[in-house]
């Protein structure tokens, strides 16, 4: 972190009822995010003052208990010309946050950020940091050093040890942003890149833009029970602790294998994890639970299974995958109560067999508890769609959905699935992208979005498989034609990022070809697209996208509590390494990005006037 990347606000607080001896000094730093257009390696320079387009900063001291504004200061460039300091007085004792907006000549904020809570009291000093991000832009996070108060701090080695792809990320009930596992090493071989999983657990701090490791009470880094990548993760609170539930995944896999695309799929030759379910304890604020990771005694022998979580995270399903001799037809549904999370008892487990074997299926739980599987390959062709549900006290039944796909839409594997509506009487599910499946063309190039809407009717307790119907989706463009993409819902919109379009170059497609920031003959799109989808009409409306400087196949994504989307990691390239290596060649990315939508900031933040 260089000194010219932040503005220091030296804030002098006078607590109510106190005299001169009660004045408190707080050094509050505004740290402006780096520009992703530089590849997240060039610190932003503020030598010339505020960022371009910003003509004033609105700084509010907000009471944590009720969100009321205690003090507001509007700072013009002249106020920060010399020492970039301002004195704020008249703040009563209490706990606060700094909420800051960077405003242009008119309109909503161009930049925004908020600090973590800090306390004001006689004889107490604090140093809040506000990480400022730009509206409607990709903002870099997780660089080599982002903490202005600790110039030598390196984020617990995140820039190196956090380099990974196919991690899982989530937000805990208390608002902690966590990422786990992922492929941490990439070893080039002539038959394909061998990716091997790691075990670290990382926390992203939106208030500072920094990643740190999660540690046990003894100071040891918290690690997963075993290396795991391409897994699912959900967070829930129980028993005075917060828990992460990890599902599926692999310990290693080969990317871009020999004879692709005809005979093998990307991330094939995968080695299964020893335990398909794992729970990680994260101490909740004020709780007593120690940090730990533990495998759950559940068996699902196939590698790289599909996974899904119920809305509360307590029910997790695994289905299909690859096994010795071909594709698996196994399905396992696990229910975790507090005793199962803590290890006091084992979980409730239902096991069964799918009507159709499948690998690369997309899978979601519906509000009724029905498990919906869409697409994938049975080893020779498309696997279709089916619903899995409980039968009796410990059995599972599977029912095939016989609805035909709309004309011109191909059956796919590794598609993205979004539940647009689901009230137990009707459900609307968008299926987007994926690579066409079928005979010798399995996993061939995607040449169309392959988007369709699946609709189901229910009676309030279960959905009727016979009611299944599909229809074509309008508005999904070339940006949607990708497989193994990252899809996340945030701020009333969907964001599609990463994935691959094909493992062959395609002229005219962003992120495809050779040279520049792309190596090898393949197509990993660098574009990220926001869109809305209408559950009634089935129309998709693209809201505009951004282009990263690098590809991110296997990026983890999560919607942040205060707005925006965090994307971290991913595979940038594979295959024969250029010689000499470009300076920014980084096959497994370590830096993250935050995409802040235009409507994530308070539009009134730049309309306030200075308070007392």
**Can you spell out the DSSP letters for 358-385?**
-BS-EEEE-TTS-EEEE--B-SSSB--E
Rounded Cα distance between 167 and 198, Å, is: 9
Take residue 18 and report the two structure tokens written for it: 């106190």
Would you say the pTM of this structure is higher than 0.85? yes
In sequence order, what are the beta bridge partners of 203?
178, 212
* Cβ atoms within 10 Å, residue 182: 32
Rounded Cα distance between 328 and 361, Å, is: 11
Take residue 29 and report the two structure tokens written for it: 């730093």
CA angle 351, 352, 354 (to 5 degrees): 140
Which residue spans within 384-492 are E strands per DSSP? 385-391, 395-401, 412-413, 416-422, 426-432, 435-436, 452-458, 463-472, 486-490
In sequence order, what are the beta bridge partners of 185?
196
Given this model, what pLDDT does residue 158 score? 87
Burial class, 467, CB count within 10 angstroms (exposed 0-12 / middle 13-18 / buried 19+): middle
Rounded Cα distance between 351 and 20, Å, is: 70
Across the chain, which has 612 residues, the per-10-residue mean pLDDT values are 44 40 53 80 63 89 92 80 61 88 90 90 74 92 69 78 94 95 88 89 92 81 95 90 94 75 69 94 73 92 93 95 89 94 92 94 96 93 93 83 92 94 97 78 58 96 95 87 92 92 62 46 81 91 88 93 93 73 75 88 82 50
Given this model, what pLDDT does residue 151 score? 65
Q: What are phi and psi of 476, to 5 degrees?
A: -80, 110
Rounded Cα distance between 441 and 183, Å, is: 28
Contact 574, 255 (CB under 8 A): yes
Contact 555, 570 (CB under 8 A): yes
In the β-sheet with 168-171, what is the strand arrangement from edge to edge?
A: 168-171, 177-180, 201-205, 210-213
Given this model, what pLDDT does residue 228 score? 97
Rounded Cα distance between 212 and 174, Å, is: 17
Omega within 30 of 0 (cis) for the link into 261: yes
Rounded Cα distance between 220 and 291, Å, is: 10
Handedness of CA 348, 352, 357, 362 (dihedral sign): negative
Take residue 470 and report the two structure tokens written for it: 């599909």
Q: What is the CATH number of domain 3-134?
A: 2.60.40
């Amino acid at each position: 972190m260089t000194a010219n990347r932040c503005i220091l606000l030296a804030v002098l607080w006078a607590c109510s009822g106190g005299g001169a001896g009660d004045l408190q000094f707080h050094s509050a730093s505004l740290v402006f995010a780096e520009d992703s257009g530089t590849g997240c390696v060039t610190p932003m320079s503020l030598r010339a003052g505020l960022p371009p387009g910003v003509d004033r900063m609105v700084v509010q001291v907000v009471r944590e208990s009720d969100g009321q504004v205690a003090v507001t200061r509007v700072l013009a460039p002249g106020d920060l010309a010399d020492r970039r300091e301002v004195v704020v007085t008249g703040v009563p004792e209490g706990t606060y946050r700094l909420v800051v907006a960077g405003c242009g000549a008119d309109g909503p904020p161009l930049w925004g950020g908020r600090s973590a809570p800090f306390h004001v009291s006689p004889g107490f000093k604090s140093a809040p940091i506000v990480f400022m991000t730009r509206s409607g832009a990709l903002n870099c996070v997780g660089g080599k050093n982002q903490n202005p108060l600790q110039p030598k701090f390196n984020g617990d080695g995140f820039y190196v040890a956090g380099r990974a792809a196919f991690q899982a990320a989530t937000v805990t009930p208390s608002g902690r942003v966590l990422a786990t596992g992922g492929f941490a090493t990439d070893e080039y071989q002539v038959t394909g890149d061998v990716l091997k999983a790691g075990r670290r657990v990382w926390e992203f701090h939106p208030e500072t833009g920094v990643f740190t490791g999660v540690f046990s009470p003894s100071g040891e880094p918290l690690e997963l029970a075993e290396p795991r990548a391409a897994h699912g993760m959900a967070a829930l609170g129980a028993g005075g602790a917060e828990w992460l539930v990890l599902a599926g995944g692999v310990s290693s896999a080969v990317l871009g294998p020999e004879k692709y695309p005809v005979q093998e799929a990307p991330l094939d030759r995968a080695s299964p994890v020893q335990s398909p379910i794992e729970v990680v304890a994260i101490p909740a604020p004020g709780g007593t639970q120690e940090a730990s990771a533990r495998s759950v005694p559940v068996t699902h022998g196939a590698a790289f299974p599909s996974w899904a979580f119920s809305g509360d995270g307590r029910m997790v399903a695994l289905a299909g995958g690859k096994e010795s001799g071909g594709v698996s037809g196994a399905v396992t549904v696990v229910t975790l109560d507090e005793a199962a999370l803590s290890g006091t008892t084992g979980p409730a487990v239902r096991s069964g067999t799918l009507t159709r074997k499948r690998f690369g299926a997309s899978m979601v739980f519906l509000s009724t508890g029905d498990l919906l599987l869409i697409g994938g390959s049975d080893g020779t062709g498309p696997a279709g769609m089916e619903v899995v549900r409980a039968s009796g006290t410990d059995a599972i039944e599977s029912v095939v959905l016989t609805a035909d796909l709309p004309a011109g839409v191909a059956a796919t594997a590794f598609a993205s699935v979004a539940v647009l509506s689901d009230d137990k009487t009707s459900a609307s599910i968008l299926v987007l992208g994926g690579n066409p499946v079928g005979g010798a063309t399995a996993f061939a190039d995607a040449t169309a979005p392959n988007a369709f809407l699946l609709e189901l009717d229910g009676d309030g307790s279960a959905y009727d498989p016979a009611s299944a119907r599909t229809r074509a989706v309008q508005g999904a463009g070339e940006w949607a034609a990708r497989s193994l993409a990252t899809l996340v819902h945030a701020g009333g919109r969907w964001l599609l990022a990463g994935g691959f379009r094909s493992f062959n170059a395609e002229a005219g497609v962003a992120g495809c070809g050779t040279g520049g920031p792309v190596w090898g003959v393949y197509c990993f799109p660098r574009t990220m697209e926001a869109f809305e989808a209408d559950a009634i009409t089935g129309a998709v409306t693209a809201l505009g996208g951004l282009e990263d400087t690098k590809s991110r196949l296997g990026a983890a994504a999560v919607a942040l509590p205060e707005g925006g989307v965090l994307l971290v990691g991913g595979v940038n390239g594979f295959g024969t390494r250029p010689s000499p290596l470009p300076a920014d060649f980084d096959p497994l990315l370590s830096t993250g990005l935050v995409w802040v939508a235009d409507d994530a900031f308070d539009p009134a933040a730049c309309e306030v006037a200075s308070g007392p």
